[in-house]
Each structure stands twice: as C-alpha cells, then as structure tokens.
Amino acid sequence: MSHPLLSLQGITKRYPGVVANDGVSLVVQPGEIHAVLGENGAGKSTLMKIIYGAVKPDAGEIRFQGEAVHIRNPQEARRLGISMVFQHFSLFDTLSVAENVWLGLDKSFSLAQVTQRITDTASQYGLDIDPARPVHTLSVGEMQRVEIIRALLTNPQLLILDEPTSVLTPQAVEKLFVVLRQLASEGRSILYISHKLHEIRALCTACTVMRAGRVTGVCDPRQETNASLSQLMIGSLPPELGLRSYQPGPEVLSVRDLRLTRSDPFGVDLRGIDLQVRAGEVVGIAGVSGNGQRELLYALSGEDTRAARDSIQFQGQAMGHWGPERRRDLGLHFVPEERLGRGAVPSLSLAQNLLLTRHEAVSKRGGLGWLNLALLREQAQAIIARYQVKAAGPDAPARSLSGGNLQKFLVGREIEAAPKLLIVSQPTWGVDVGASAQIRAALLALRDAGCAVLVVSEELDELLELSDRLHVIANGRLSPALTREEASVSRIGAWMSGLWDAPAHDVAQQEVPHAAA
C-alpha cells in the first residue's frame, strides 16, 4: 500500500466557548501503532470521535485508504474497517454482554454464534467475561473488557483504543500488547491513547502530541524518555512526590471479619475481610477488577448496609448498618470510580454537584431547606482554581468536562470537606501525567494533615507511589498488608491470583525490581 491508511488534514471542531480541535493534521501508516498524547482536554478524544463518526468536524478532510471519506456515524466507520474502544463506555445496562456485542456486529451472526465468539476471543486475549451477564452487574474493568472484545470482533483495519489498559493487570497488559503487535504485523493500524508513558514507549512506533486542540509535535516514542514525553505534553516536568516519613496516628477505620454474600448472582462474596486504616497513612488495595472491590466499597461507603454492625468501625463506633449520610456526617467521604452517574450528575452544574456530598450551602428555616446558591458557586470556583480544573466556570455542566478535569473536581470536592477518612476508587484512571501528579500530591497532603486515606486502584505504579501499606484483593479475600519496601510489581501480580498463602521463597524467585513509570 503506497498511501497512508488514515490521513487527516486541517480538522477543526468548535464548541461554545472552546475550540476542541484547531486545524489538526495526522497521518497513520499501515501496520503502525500510533500514539496520540496530550493532557486531559487537549482534544484527543474529540479527534478520535471524529475519525469514528461519532462527532462531525466543522472543517477539514479525512482520507481512509487513500480515498476522501465523510464518516457520518459509527456504523459507517465500522463498515470502512474502523473500530473504537471508548474510555467512557457505550453499553446498554439492561442488556447482556452478548447482546451488547451483537448490536455492533453483522446481523448475519446469530446470538448463539456471537456468544461463542465472545468466549473464544476472551479466552484468547486473556479478557475473561461471561457473555450472559447483564452489563449493570459488571465492574468498570469488566465493562472495558467487553468494549475491547466488541472492537476486536469487527476485524478492524484501524483500531482506536482510548486508555485500554487502565484496568488491566500487568500480565493482561502484556497479553494485549502481543495481540496489538500481531494486528500491526498483519498490516492493521492502531491509534493508541494512553497516559502511561512507559506503555507508549514500549508499544508505539509513532506519536503525535497535542496541546490545547493543536498538534505541537510528532516523535518516535522509542527514542524518548518518560521525562521528555512529559515535557512535550505539558510543557514541563510533573513534580516528583518522593519518599515521605511515615508516622501513623490512631486507628480510624477498622474492618474485622467482614463477610457478605453477593447481592446479585454475578457479584463476589466477601470472605473474612480484615482491614485497618490509621490517621496519617495511605493504605492501598490492588487487584484485578471484579474480585470484590465493588462489594467492599459499597459496604464501606454505606451503600450496602447488610454488614454485621461491629464488622465495620469508624473511630471506635460500630457503623455496619449505617447509611452514607450518617457516615459522611462523621467525616467519611468517598470518591467512586464512576465519575458520571455516581460521582456527578452529568446534566447538573459543578456548583450543583457539590450538593451530592456537601451541605454547607443548605440551611433549614421553618422546616424547609434553603439553598445558598452564591455560596455553592463560590465553593465550586475555589475548587476549580485550587485544583486547576479546566472548566467554563462553576455553572458548567459536569458532562462538559474531560474525564481528568472532572476527576480533579470530584477529588477536590471531597478533600475540601476536611474528611477524617477519605476512600478513593481509581483516583487517576484515564488522567494525564500532570493531573495525576496533582491528584496524588493532594492525597498525600491530606494524609500528611492527619487524614486516613484508603485508595483502591488497578494502577500498580500509582499504589506503589502513594501507599504506606498495601493489600491485594482476590476472590473476595484480602491479603496480609505489605509495606512499601516489601511490595513489588511481580509480588503484587502473583498475589492478584490469590497466591499470598504460597511460600515466600516461591514468590520471591519470580520478583524483579520495580521501576516506576
């Protein structure tokens, strides 16, 4: 093939108050794994949606396999041979995995055939999923597996992946990379969006860097360092967190022998969970998505009140049966992994979204609740400024923000409430290196101020950077705690299979020194 597989020239897309793409040009060759790198809000996702037909450009030309094309919708994109895995999923909650995948495929396949293809593909690529499960029972990580499988089943010539490894174990990432390299060797091309710079350097053969909607550079990431890629992307190096002294205070959260049967047929039973978090420390929980994280977080946040009363204690008070509001009143705050829908109401403004967990602007007079809208806007504006959230202001709808900027706002909302215990799930999922550094620094500052912090994440580098002590969850069981010095990627990876009961020397033989990304 003498011409590029994909060529963009002068792509421009404007929204009210912002130019998402400003004259963007991009060339992807056959068999190329091409990274698109940039801060949250740089215009990457908009550009990918234009290629996939989900967004129409205001100006510019798209050529695919040498021919000028006007991609009016994702169905046309798939017919051309373009598939995309979105960071924020496009799945119907009430349908099964197989039915969701079937919607995007040629209807010449029966549902039974699609089900078998899902099973085969999941097994081949290490993305195990039950085709019969309703999507609403899946964790975020399991939903992402469905999206990846759905894209692979369309047999694409161009595969667009937006943060595909954010909820995969290191072993599963390696399996995925083998698949992607095989696809590239067959002449297929991949557009790869990730904020994991070490992944881009290991996998990709070309890289386009975007900033504020424009292309600011093209490079071969194999010739770059993490530091040089960071500088290309954000114009400076993110601050290093470094090692901190560790002086924990009294116990704030105590979980003892927590046992809960699954609340739905596809959930995970919690089996004898023991966990303690003290003031002035960060405790991390690692694990493959779908191993009990959701059930544990629901029990800790108060969304599931079935736990034995004494199995969960907050500063010595038994609270297993308490709901979220009563726990929040005592100082337990929670940032869920689902930003839109649970963390924020998409259609409400940032100021209005403060009311989900913050009630300082609510006063009661005569038995009625009165809202101080001016105070709400003032609080929202302070969070926007302090956490450098890129938004049109406190009245901007939550859905108008990029994923990383919304995450900074949600973390800021809970930190500014001065919690005694902050539980954060996937704090920097899909967040660029600059924003990740801000969020992690804010969590450590909170910890240094005496707050107890519990972080549940599938980003091992993040946990190893943040945690004073670290657990692994597998099959509804929680491992013993490891100190930061005892933890390594290989040990944690082995423990993700529930192998912490194996002799220590068996695990140690497999360990390699951890290199932070």
pLDDT in tens, 457-500: 988 888 988 999 999 999 999 999 999 889 888 888 889 888 88
In a domain, 118, yes or no: yes
The continuous run of DSSP H or E covering 69 comes out as strand 67-69
- 424 and 386 in a common domain: no
Residue 517: band (very low, low, confident or very high) from pLDDT cuts 50, 70, 90: very low
- 198 and 143 in a common domain: yes
pLDDT recorded at residue 511: 40
Instruction: Find the mean pLDDT for residues 244-273.
Output: 90
- 58 and 40 in a common domain: yes
Least confident among 163-172, 312-321, 453-462, 493-502: 163-172
Least confident among 165-169, 278-282, 396-400: 165-169
pLDDT recorded at residue 430: 67
**pLDDT for residue 505 is more than 50:** no
3-state secondary structure of 155: coil
pLDDT recorded at residue 340: 84
Question: Which residues are registered as beta bridge partners of 69?
Answer: 62
pLDDT recorded at residue 322: 96
| Nearest CA among 429, 477, 427 for reference residue 456 | 427
pLDDT recorded at residue 236: 63
- 143 and 278 in a common domain: no
CATH number at residue 257: 3.40.50.300
- 436 and 372 in a common domain: no
Q: How far apart, in whole angstroms, are the C-alpha atoms of residue 141 and residue 314?
A: 29
Angle, CA 363 vertex, CA 360 and CA 369 arms, to 5°: 120
Which residue in the block uniquely carries the two structure tokens 């969590």? 443
**pLDDT for residue 510 is more than 60:** no
Chosen domain end from 176, 211, 234: 234
Q: Which residue has the higher pLDDT, 27 or 511?
A: 27
Chosen domain end from 200, 217, 234: 234
> What is the per-residue pLDDT across 135-151, written as a single tens digit (0 to 9) for each?
988 876 688 788 888 88
**pLDDT for residue 101 is more than 60:** yes
- 408 and 429 in a common domain: no
Chosen domain end from 200, 234, 268: 234
- 464 and 321 in a common domain: yes
In a domain, 394, yes or no: yes
**pLDDT for residue 31 is more than 90:** yes
Q: How far apart, in whole angstroms, are the C-alpha atoms of residue 450 and residue 64?
A: 56
Asked if residues 204 and 400 have their Cβ atoms less than 8 Å apart, the reply is no
In a domain, 337, yes or no: no
- Please give the sequence-ordered ranges of beta strands (E in DSSP) within 220-309, or none if there are none: 251-260, 270-278, 282-286
Q: Which residue has the higher pLDDT, 233 or 98?
A: 98
Does residue 398 come out as left (phi exceeding 0), alpha (psi in the -120 to 50 range) or beta? alpha
Q: How far apart, in whole angstroms, are the C-alpha atoms of residue 67 and residue 5?
A: 9
pLDDT recorded at residue 45: 86
- 212 and 116 in a common domain: yes
pLDDT recorded at residue 53: 95
DSSP string, 432-494: -HHHHHHHHHHHHHHHHTT-EEEEE-S-HHHHHHH-SEEEEEETTEEPPPEETTT--HHHHHH
In a domain, 106, yes or no: yes
> What is the per-residue pLDDT across 402-439, written as a single tens digit (0 to 9) for each?
778 899 999 999 999 999 999 999 898 767 777 788 88
pLDDT recorded at residue 169: 62
pLDDT recorded at residue 484: 86
Residue 515: band (very low, low, confident or very high) from pLDDT cuts 50, 70, 90: very low
> What is the per-residue pLDDT across 190-233, written as a single tens digit (0 to 9) for each?
999 988 888 899 999 999 999 889 998 899 999 998 888 888 87
Instruction: Find the mean pLDDT for residues 301-326.
Output: 95
Q: How far apart, in whole angstroms, are the C-alpha atoms of residue 57 and residue 51?
A: 9
In a domain, 1, yes or no: no
In a domain, 336, yes or no: no
pLDDT recorded at residue 241: 59
Whether the model clears a pTM of 0.85, i.e. scores above it, the answer is no
- 258 and 218 in a common domain: no
In a domain, 338, yes or no: no
Task: Write out the residue range of the structural domain in which residue 513 sits.
Answer: 238-331+419-517
- In b/e form, how buried is each residue of 96-121, taking b as 16+ CB within 10 angstroms? bbbbbbbebbeeeeeeeebbebbbeb
Q: Total structural domains in the chain?
A: 3
3-state secondary structure of 200: helix
- 115 and 65 in a common domain: yes
pLDDT recorded at residue 494: 82
- 282 and 204 in a common domain: no
Residue 349: band (very low, low, confident or very high) from pLDDT cuts 50, 70, 90: very high
